[in-house]
A and B are shown apart, each in its own frame.
Chain A
Amino acid sequence: MSAFQLALKNISGNAFRNGVVSLCALLLSAFALFTTLVIRGAESSLRLTIDRLGADIVVVPEGSEAKIESALLMGIPARFWMPADHVNKIAAIPGVGVVSPQLYLATLTGADCCSVSDMFMIAYDPASDFTIQPWLEEELGNGLRVGEVVGGSYISATEGEQNIKLYGYLVTLKENLEPTGTGLDQTMFLTFDTAYDIASKSEFQAESPLIIPPDSISAALIKVKPGSDPQDVALQIIQNVPGVTPIESSDLFQSYRKQMTGLLKSILVILSVTWGLSVVLIGLVFSMAANERRKELGVLRALGATRRFVFQSLLAEASLLAFFGGITGLAVASMAIFLFRKLIMVSLEIPFLLPSPVSLLIQIGAGLLLALFSVNLAALFPAFKISRQDPAVAMRE
């Protein structure tokens, strides 16, 4: 029988200690993993959204900054307009490589002529687009025709196998994009031609027509020329195009980043307090348990166990409890994240993307290490103290 086997046998003997220590390990690891996954999931989601847009600068009408963030991140439909000739003004600015206009539209709320309610739609110009078009050409071999759409990962056909009804107009869902964990997953992408076709026919087919103001666009996505500084280009847009706000991709979602930083700080405080209390509680419970087992440990010393053996045996027990508690906590947290991710996104108002299996495994490993470290740290002093005790004193009544 080894020290490990002895420890394994011994942990079956004290239900109270086992319960408290395992529960603390469970809470610590679950909380740590849950918060890490949420924060990292939100971060990677933001990063992926910016990558997906592929723009160095997004130009929107002045005062619409928050609306575009909400639309892209949470899928809340945005409606704002600026003159279409801004595209030419922007294109004339030195350093601007490509400018691509977009129209931001939405389906009707609770109307029979729309099979999806209040859904965000982005119409793009296939001639200049660098966000959807290259991906479509790679996936489908060509772009979208009139009456065709691509959807975010959550979009599915509601009418027949491939069709979705928008303003009484049947569009064909050609493909779904990879998930980003943001509002883009609930957004439909269509060409300008399709958008205008829906708008013109909606006057006769829809309960309420789709209105696209003439000679208007919602936003312009810009790719700067190689070697140009996006900050300089943004400054020139402010100086030359009145009534617009250029948002550099690095500044995009700043309000969400601030919200996440605040959330992270709160979580860190709660985690630190929980960790400190858990360590103290585990230490107390271990002290009590070790004290109860004073005689037993004295007997082990009399039978030939060294101080080191007793010390290691107690820490092995702590590690086993931390391991079992930690694994349970990590499983609970992973399952909660997987099952309730949509609820988390809505209640915390943050985007979220599930991590890759490798990243998840690394984070689970880190959570387990935290549980093992915390429980062993708490058990260190009681284990050391009891192992140094005189065996005769330990065995005394």
Chain B
Amino acid sequence: MITLDQVTKTYPLGKGSSVTAVGGVSLEINQGEFVLIVGRSGSGKTTLLNLAAGLTQPTSGKVLIDGTNLWDLTDQQQSFLRSQRIGFVFQFPSLLPTLTVLENVILPTVFGSKQETVQVHERATELLQKVGLMDKLAAYPRQLSAGQQQRVVIARALMNQPLMLLADEPTSNLDEKTELEIMGLFHDLHTSMGITIVMVTHMRQLVSYGTRAVEMANGQIANGHAN
């Protein structure tokens, strides 16, 4: 599904120096997997996720999605692919503050293929029901708790029925109880809907939720094992 082939990402620091966030990593993620990328802060795991999603261009190497080199595509093709195939859950509050909960969930449909407004609203409502926020349709993000906001983000990520969810530290800002609820939701999405999930986390105790764990250290894959 996603293949990273000898991917390197180097950031310039100025005055001729640079830092390599990911160095020559090769990784294959197959359909139906729940892969956890674990590692300490600064190990390169978020950069790896961004590379896999096409959110940043590799300095060298290839990123293939279903055999297509992502960086051979135009910006429009890449954007369309992201909107249709990939759902994102970020670590930081990523809801648009000026939109209601329902509008935030509908947002990805603006960029994808045209859909009937009625169907869009039905699907958004259905997803918000699934994450337990049916009573918050008209609320604004500032009126929600951090856990509720993250649930809305998950509903938004699922709006275009993606084949894959990419999550970057989705529970790092949440209390333990909410973390368990969110991880339960991911587990449910993986088992009941068969969605491929790639999650970046620094919390080793979450490894048990995934089908495979990949450990990153110093921009390299240090270890990988199946659960």
Which A residues contact B (CB, under 8 angstroms)? Answer: 1-3, 6, 9-10, 12-13, 295-296, 298-309, 390-393, 395, 397
Known contacts A9-B103, A309-B111; decide if A301 and B79 are in contact (CB<8 Å). Answer: yes
- The distance in angstroms between the C-alpha atoms of A3 and B110, with both chains bound, is 8
For chain B residues 98-122, which have a beta carbon within 8 Å of chain A? 98-99, 103, 106-112
Contact among B56, B76, B109 with A391 in the assembled complex (CB-CB below 8 Å): B56
B94 touching A304, Cβ below 8 Å:
no
Chain A residues with Cβ under 8 A from B90's Cβ? 299, 302, 395
A6 touching B111, Cβ below 8 Å:
no
- The distance in angstroms between the C-alpha atoms of A305 and B55, with both chains bound, is 12
Chain A residues with Cβ under 8 A from B84's Cβ? 304
- The distance in angstroms between the C-alpha atoms of A309 and B76, with both chains bound, is 10
A392 touching B76, Cβ below 8 Å:
no
Query: A interface, by DSSP: helix, strand, loop or mixed?
Result: helix
B110 touching A1, Cβ below 8 Å:
yes
B82 touching A302, Cβ below 8 Å:
yes
A303 touching B82, Cβ below 8 Å:
yes
- By size class, the interface of chain B is 20 to 34
Question: Number of contacts between A and B (CB, 8 Å)?
Answer: 78
Most buried by A among B56, B75, B110: B110
Chain A residues with Cβ under 8 A from B47's Cβ? 392
19 pairs from A and B in contact (CB 8 Å cutoff): A1-B106, A2-B110, A9-B98, A12-B98, A13-B97, A296-B94, A299-B90, A300-B111, A302-B53, A302-B90, A304-B79, A304-B84, A304-B108, A390-B57, A391-B50, A391-B55, A391-B56, A395-B90, A395-B92
Known contacts A307-B75, A390-B55, A392-B47; decide if A295 and B108 are in contact (CB<8 Å). Answer: no
B56 touching A1, Cβ below 8 Å:
no
For chain B residues 1-59, which have a beta carbon within 8 Å of chain A? 47, 50, 53, 55-57
Which B residues contact A (CB, under 8 angstroms)? Answer: 47, 50, 53, 55-57, 75-76, 79-80, 82-84, 88, 90, 92, 94, 96-99, 103, 106-112, 156, 160
The 4 closest A-B pairs by CB, nearest first: A304-B83, A304-B111, A392-B56, A392-B50
Query: B interface, by DSSP: helix, strand, loop or mixed?
Result: helix
Most buried by B among A10, A303, A391, A393: A303
A40 to chain B, nearest CB (A): 41
Chain A residues with Cβ under 8 A from B83's Cβ? 303-304
Contact among A6, A296, A308, A390 with B110 in the assembled complex (CB-CB below 8 Å): A6
- Of all chain A residues, the one with the shortest Cβ separation from B156 is A303
Apart from the given pairs A302-B82, A303-B82, 12 other A-B contacts in the complex at a CB distance below 8 Å: A13-B97, A298-B55, A299-B96, A301-B55, A301-B79, A302-B55, A303-B88, A303-B107, A304-B82, A304-B84, A304-B112, A392-B47
- Of all chain B residues, the one with the shortest Cβ separation from A387 is B75
Contact among B88, B103, B109 with A302 in the assembled complex (CB-CB below 8 Å): B88
- The distance in angstroms between the C-alpha atoms of A271 and B16, with both chains bound, is 46
B166 to chain A, nearest CB (A): 9
Chain B residues with Cβ under 8 A from A392's Cβ? 47, 50, 55-56
Chain B residues with Cβ under 8 A from A298's Cβ? 55
B111 touching A306, Cβ below 8 Å:
yes
